A = this chain, B = another copy of it.
Amino acid sequence: MRRDVFQAIADPTRRAIITLLALHAMTPNAIAEHFQSTRQAVSKHLRILTECELLHQEPQGREIFYSLHMDKMKEIDIWMEQVRKIWESRFSQLDDLLEEMKKGQL
């Protein structure tokens, strides 16, 4: 049951839905028209995306408009940034090592 953003964007259809909704809010039927699969299949994806708070529902009469909650996308950025930080620190760590070696040898 535990949904996280990374699992959510693992599915190509869900990524396509996110891309679609980045432009403007849409109803399940309108979204489903962009895919070969049934509305129910799309509805399941919408449920998963909503559960992990990537989407937001806005009922309007008997229709429900789904919109992208861009803030949640930042969680991906945060992780990417973390990895990038460590990746870059790699060099300074090598510098530290070389410094240590120099001290030990001299």
Contacts and interface: CB of A to CB of B under 8 A. Distances in A.
Given A9-B6, A73-B83, A76-B76, A90 B22 contact: yes
Nearest to A18: B83
A80 interface: yes
Interface residues of A, number: 27
A23 B93 contact: yes
Interface of A: 4, 6-7, 9-10, 12, 15, 18-19, 22-24, 68, 70, 73, 76-77, 79-80, 82-84, 86-87, 89-90, 93
9 contacts: A6-B9, A6-B10, A6-B12, A22-B87, A23-B89, A23-B90, A23-B93, A70-B84, A80-B80
